[in-house]
Homo-oligomer: A and B are copies of this chain.
């Protein structure tokens, strides 16, 4: 089959890869309808994370089940399914508490490479959720978004306790940040401050429910949020970048007793204990337990209540994956969808 492989920073190729097969009786093999490039794929692409030899890429996927192992009972060949970037048994104590991305049996899909024609999904019963029927093509981008960016933005908004009567600020205007705006709106937030310097992203943020735009960053950005909240800070702040600046900005923009939901994969971040102590914030985040939200998110998409697929502003066939990486690297695209 064809699949994306990263050979070195900046060197991404679409090449022949071995077809996946059932390895464990709990596996499923799916034929992808679409996959995409993640902001986190840009870390190795930019040489910030190491690339250790050729690595299959991609961890976001939606498609049709082709084959299941003998122990799989909840999905069957022919069903359209969405899954998370971590496979989970969905039965252990950690899963049952809603933290499937820390499942005691979790496996990263990243290593398996979802930017490909087919994908082996471990622990299929606990990982995949079938849609009510076969979606039409226009719905595929939204279902694919549920696989990671929507679920991650949603977790960020839940972790930040976005909800009625609360002012929410979102640090980061990438796909996850935009999805966090959508989630905050859907969760009933009264006011949503999107922090963005890019006009097209501001526009999408507003369409997704942002009520205020703050273009400043760092201390100035914090000052704008404080000004907008009677000097107190937002009740809820979603951190969707993962840098020292964004994390500092998120904590600084949160009022005492408020909640920071951090979902940007942390890079070189170091938190000063004393500042954190006196900030009085709640801090929660990590790799989003997307599986927790998948049934609800699929339902919202299936019924046309949310349209997260608009976050994909570039669509290319799988074979043109290198262009997709370049466009995202150069910030010409928020998020690129690859049609398989």
Q: Is the pair B266, A94 in contact by a Cβ cutoff of 8 Å?
A: no
* Stretch from A65-73, A95-103, A118-126, A207-215 at the B interface: A95-103
Contacts of A278 in B (CB 8 A): 286-287
A255-288 interface bits toward B, Cβ cutoff 8 Å, 1 = contact, 0 = none = 1110000100111111111101111111111110
Contacts of A183 in B (CB 8 A): none
Q: Is the pair A266, B273 in contact by a Cβ cutoff of 8 Å?
A: yes
Closest B residue by C-beta to A233: B94
Q: Is the pair B98, A257 in contact by a Cβ cutoff of 8 Å?
A: yes
Contacts of A268 in B (CB 8 A): 273
Q: Kindly provide the distance from the CB of A95 to the nearest chain B CB, expressed in whole angstroms.
A: 10
Q: Is the pair B282, A232 in contact by a Cβ cutoff of 8 Å?
A: no
Is A313 in the interface zone, CB < 8 Å from B? no
Q: Is the pair B270, A272 in contact by a Cβ cutoff of 8 Å?
A: yes
**A99 is contacted by which of B102, B256, B265 (Cβ under 8 Å)?**
B256
Q: Kindly provide the distance from the CB of A238 to the nearest chain B CB, expressed in whole angstroms.
A: 14
- Most chain B CB atoms below 10 A, which of A98, A102, A269, A277: A277
Closest B residue by C-beta to A279: B286
Interchain CA distance A276-B284 in the complex, whole Å: 9
A232-B94, A270-B272 given; A102·B285 CB < 8 A:
no
Is A199 in the interface zone, CB < 8 Å from B? no
Interchain CA distance A123-B299 in the complex, whole Å: 52
Q: Is the pair B286, A284 in contact by a Cβ cutoff of 8 Å?
A: no
Contacts of A276 in B (CB 8 A): 266, 271, 283, 286
Q: Is the pair B102, A257 in contact by a Cβ cutoff of 8 Å?
A: yes
Q: Is the pair B282, A274 in contact by a Cβ cutoff of 8 Å?
A: no
Is A230 in the interface zone, CB < 8 Å from B? yes
- Most chain B CB atoms below 10 A, which of A97, A267, A273, A281: A273
Contacts of A231 in B (CB 8 A): 104
Is A227 in the interface zone, CB < 8 Å from B? no
Contacts of A271 in B (CB 8 A): 270-271, 273, 276
Q: Is the pair A280, B287 in contact by a Cβ cutoff of 8 Å?
A: yes
Q: Kindly provide the distance from the CB of A94 to the nearest chain B CB, expressed in whole angstroms.
A: 5
Is A93 in the interface zone, CB < 8 Å from B? yes
Interchain CA distance A6-B298 in the complex, whole Å: 64
Q: Is the pair A283, B280 in contact by a Cβ cutoff of 8 Å?
A: no
Q: Kindly provide the distance from the CB of A199 to the nearest chain B CB, expressed in whole angstroms.
A: 30
A311-335 interface bits toward B, Cβ cutoff 8 Å, 1 = contact, 0 = none = 0000000000000000000000000
> Which 4 residue pairs spanning A and B have beta carbons closest together?
A269-B273, A102-B256, A266-B273, A99-B257
4 A-B pairs besides A93-B230, A104-B232, A280-B287 with CB distance below 8 A are A94-B257, A242-B277, A270-B273, A277-B287
Using CB atoms and an 8 Å cutoff, list the residues of chain A in contact with chain B. 93-94, 97-99, 101-102, 104, 230-232, 242, 244, 247, 255-257, 262, 265-274, 276-287
- CB-defined A-B contacts under 8 Å, sample of 25: A93-B230, A93-B232, A94-B256, A97-B257, A99-B256, A99-B257, A102-B256, A104-B232, A247-B273, A256-B286, A265-B277, A266-B273, A266-B276, A266-B277, A269-B273, A269-B277, A270-B270, A270-B273, A271-B273, A277-B286, A277-B287, A278-B287, A280-B286, A282-B283, A283-B283
